[in-house]
Amino acid sequence: MLLPIEPSVFWQKMKEIVEQVMNESQLKVAGKHSERSLVKVKEVCELFHVSKPTVYDWLKQGKIKSVKIQSRRYFRLQDIDELIQQNQVDFLATKRPGLHQNKSLKVL
């Protein structure tokens, strides 16, 4: 059963939820690492909920920078914050085929 809701209202709510989750994630990382500016790949994985190969792919693609100290690779929190800011999704600006044309969804 679909609720009668304007698509613009739906996407605004989605945007608010995503922003809230991202802010909470940033606060968790900031709280964990308030005294350090470098984090390990495992912590980057936890923040973004991705695997290590994904983080290393981002590194190869130039999406994120790292610092290598001896055999270990570290990531600057500032670079992670920049990555988050660059990739925030604005749901209202994203055109969804079919949804933006209807004024409201019909109840089935």
| Domain limits for position 66 | 36-88
Two tokens, residue 97: 């085929």
- Is 42 part of any domain? yes
- Is 107 part of any domain? no
How high does pLDDT run on average in the chain? 75
Q: What is the CATH number of the domain that holds 83?
A: 1.10.10
pLDDT digits (tens, 9 = 90+) for 56-100: 999 999 888 898 888 889 999 888 888 777 776 544 355 555 544
In this prediction, residue 61 carries a pLDDT of 92
- Is 47 part of any domain? yes
How many structural domains does the chain have? Answer: 1
Please name which of 82, 42, 39 lies closest in space to residue 63, comparing C-alpha atoms. Answer: 82
10 compared with 58, residue with greater pLDDT: 58
Residues facing 40 on adjacent strands: 74
- Is 108 part of any domain? no
